[in-house]
Amino acid sequence: MDTLSPELEKARLERDEILKRYRALLRALGPLPREKKKLIREAFDVALEAHRGTYRKSGEPYIFHPLAVAHIAAHELGLGPSSVACALMHDVVEDSDVTLDDIELRFGPKIARIINGLTKISAVHFESGSSVQAENFRKMLLTISDDLRVILVKLCDRLHNMRTLESVPRSTQLKIASETLFLYAPLAHRLGLNAIKTELEDLSIKYTESERFDEIVQKLAANKAQRSRYIREFIEPLDEKLRAAGLKVHEIKGRPKSIFSILQKMKKQGIPFEQVYDLFAIRIIIDSEQQKEKEDCWRAFSIITDIYKTQGDRLRDWLTTPKANGYEALHTTVLGPKAKWVEVQIRSKRMEDIAERGLAAHWRYKATSSHQHTPQDATFDNWLNRVKDMLENRDLSALEFLDDFKFNLLSEEIYVFTPKGDIRNLPVNSTALDFGFEIHSDIGAKCIGAKVNSKLVPISHPLKNGDVVEIITSQKQRVNEGWLEFVITGKAKSKIRNWLKEEKRKSAEEGKDILARKFRNVKVQFNEQMANRVMRYFERSSLLDLYYDIAIGKIAKDHIQVSRILAPREEQPTAGEEIAVSGSKPSRDYVPRKNEEIIVGDDHELNYTLSKCCNPIPGDPIFGFVTIGEGVKIHRVNCPNAVSLMSNYGYRIIKAEWKSKFNFDKAFLAGLRITGIDDVGIVSRTTDIISKELKVNMKSISFGSNAGTFEGTILLYTHDTTHLNDLISKLEKIGKHITVTRIEVE
Ligand code: MN
């Protein structure tokens, strides 16, 4: 044994480690019947063989990844052997010669279907215009009607990729992290997988907003001891009284808020870390039988309010009506020791499990307890039905679908009634028209108004929980594009779009006739190839658009001069992609900057422009986005549009870096918000600092005061982030309680 060559020794260590991890997986699964054990073993063998000799970016054998995903599935989500087998084999079809047919032959159609849902569509099947990411996401969701396990395993996969994101290149980190924030965290939220959602969010901002992430981590660590002391002090009288009242307290703990939600709060309210007062919540978990759990929670609530004063309007009752993702609990805010407001969450052990582990836990409870219909059944079913509705609408492009879907992931729900008393649930902010389409697509299409609680309202009227809604229709009504601006539900949107497309298709026929006549007049044969040339000439993205615009006169008949159109000219960029680039048209005054401050990709010569949506300044973390017709645009990594760009068009992201030495004569526009206690002379002191002391040019400045506080907005020219941060810290010293934050430049 001790004469093994280094290579063999390495292989032996690797094999031992793989087996060790495999055994850990079996332990996480717990005792299994013999045929399930065999299933896991076979899946493991297939994966091991398929990934043999391949390694991850980190240098580890590839098989570590599927093993880890399977372990997350078993241990953190509590999924069963079939899902775990799929987790083991989730990358097999994509990365090896094993085909779906092979899988079906060995493991049956059910597992093959799940694996199919998990297998990414290869990028080569796409034209550059469509989003591979969006298509993949849709493909995964298409299996939702068959099997939710696809999504659950996919989330495990994503979680492990996020946990190991350290070892991939920066541009990939940004792409994956943004995608996660944009799609997977909301999806986890919708499925009630709180622990996973929180971890995905925190891991995402670790890469997209590294500096602020580190800052929060540091500050949280710094006041940890103080926080723990406070939590102990808060809990002490509570614990005693709850037990004295005969409640079985499973656990009382102080739960720190996630880094992501702290950062959200700082951004939303424009406040520094120190001013986020609810850094933690107290969670009380009670052991209770399912029949008595609500009652027990309310009893706990009343005991708490005996000890601490509540903030009257801050009771959130998700016991009576659970959230759309199945969340049940009682939340209240009370005045704790040292006059601090503290959020308290009360729930049973079962509710806690469902809140943390979501759907999977819910099914487990359902399987083990009685057969009663739980509120979660209805909400999940409802949501699934809505997703299915969207999926059935094949006309929707993948990106439109994604928009609708994402909206539905995030929205909470309201319950409204038909005049007959049937209950329907809709996303918050749904309008009367949404309700119409919810009832029937013809009713929506003919809707001219509604009676809400017997009062006449317009179709755009937003509905509230408990409203009774009666739709008024007219045969004369016609669907119009303006409706898309206020409807909320995917169902209404897709039905309206379909109507419009149908109308458009009809008009387009006329446009095509007009064009064909033009060709006949000059005796040139009109065919599809010709039509495409006209399309390119007028920079339309489809023949439908071309014909339609001719029909409605947007392309004037006089402008259709066949001879000119057919004259040889330079290749035009296709117009299709313009829409994809954050909706902007190529501007005529676009002047590329060449090789000045930024290196794009590895190419020192690549042209770029600084994007107007976030105005990067030297020192900001940045990335490049390849547009069509406008070269590369440079965005800040925390640009408001970045997450959507990176997740939808990941393949067009290109890394970009500031050169270490840049031209200091150049100045960049940046915005600051300054708030504080109103004080005589504060405005002049601010402007003094900016213009005199630091020799900065201001573009604009505005100040307003309100009940003893003031707020100012300053747009100024700066050289880089060091310069700007210097300015911020100087400004913060001009008076007490002054806060200065960087803001987006409009
Ligand atoms: Mn994977």
Successive 10-residue mean pLDDT values, the chain, 746 residues: 75 92 94 93 96 89 96 87 93 90 93 85 46 64 66 91 92 86 81 86 94 93 89 89 90 89 88 84 91 90 88 78 78 87 90 73 52 50 61 57 58 75 79 93 91 89 87 89 89 88 87 91 86 86 88 86 71 34 35 61 73 83 79 82 72 78 69 80 77 73 76 84 84 80 78
Place of tokens 């499973």: 250
219 & 361 share domain: yes
363 & 396 share domain: no
130 & 48 share domain: yes
The answer to whether residue 315 is domain-embedded is: yes
d(CA 468, CA 57): 58
CA of 204 to the centre of ligand 1 (A): 17
Determine the pLDDT at residue 608.
Answer: 82
| Cα 251–Cα 257–Cα 261 angle in degrees, nearest 5 | 150
Tokens representing 355 are 């809140």
The answer to whether residue 659 is domain-embedded is: no
d(CA 629, CA 574): 9
CA of 68 to the centre of ligand 1 (A): 10
Domains in the chain: how many in total?
5
Query: For residue range 162-197, what is the model confidence (pLDDT) as tens digits?
Result: 999 998 888 889 888 988 887 788 888 877 788 899
CA 98 to chain centre: 33
What is the enclosing helix (H) or strand (E) of 234? helix 224-244
For 276: left if phi > 0, alpha if psi spans -120 to 50, otherwise beta; the answer is beta
- Residue 703 sits in a domain of what CATH number? 3.30.70.260
Residue 383: closest CA among 428, 426, 433? 426
Domain that holds residue 734: 668-743
CA of 65 to the centre of ligand 1 (A): 7
Residue ending a domain, among 345, 368, 391, is: 368
Bridge partners of 743? 671
d(CA 431, CA 427): 10
The answer to whether residue 451 is domain-embedded is: yes
CA of 194 to the centre of ligand 1 (A): 21
541 & 433 share domain: no
- State the number of CA atoms in the 13 A half-sphere of 674 facing the CB: 29
CA of 640 to the centre of ligand 1 (A): 29
408 & 505 share domain: no
The answer to whether residue 710 is domain-embedded is: yes
Residue 75: closest CA among 19, 27, 118? 27
How many CB atoms lie under 10 A from the CB of residue 122? 10
CA of 206 to the centre of ligand 1 (A): 21
Phi, psi of 734 (to 5 degrees): -75, -10
Tokens representing 130 are 């469509």
Coil, strand or helix at 600: strand
d(CA 24, CA 424): 46
Tokens representing 102 are 């092979």
32 & 152 share domain: yes
327 & 385 share domain: no
Residue ending a domain, among 550, 568, 584, is: 584
233 & 364 share domain: yes
d(CA 597, CA 618): 8
The answer to whether residue 276 is domain-embedded is: yes
CA of 231 to the centre of ligand 1 (A): 40
- Residue 161 sits in a domain of what CATH number? 1.10.3210.10
Say which DSSP state 692 is in: I
Place of tokens 């087996």: 19
530 & 471 share domain: no
The answer to whether residue 395 is domain-embedded is: yes
| Cα 613–Cα 618–Cα 623 angle in degrees, nearest 5 | 55
Determine the pLDDT at residue 137.
Answer: 67
Say which DSSP state 91 is in: T
d(CA 644, CA 406): 11
392 & 359 share domain: no
CA of 157 to the centre of ligand 1 (A): 5
d(CA 543, CA 531): 7
Residue ending a domain, among 133, 168, 203, is: 168
- Residue 316 sits in a domain of what CATH number? 3.30.460.10
Query: For residue range 241-277, what is the model confidence (pLDDT) as tens digits?
Result: 999 988 999 989 888 889 999 999 888 888 888 888 7
13 & 153 share domain: yes
The answer to whether residue 200 is domain-embedded is: no
Catalytic residue numbers? 94-95
CA of 208 to the centre of ligand 1 (A): 21
414 & 385 share domain: yes
The answer to whether residue 593 is domain-embedded is: no
d(CA 110, CA 114): 7
The share of the chain scoring above pLDDT 70, in percent, equals 80
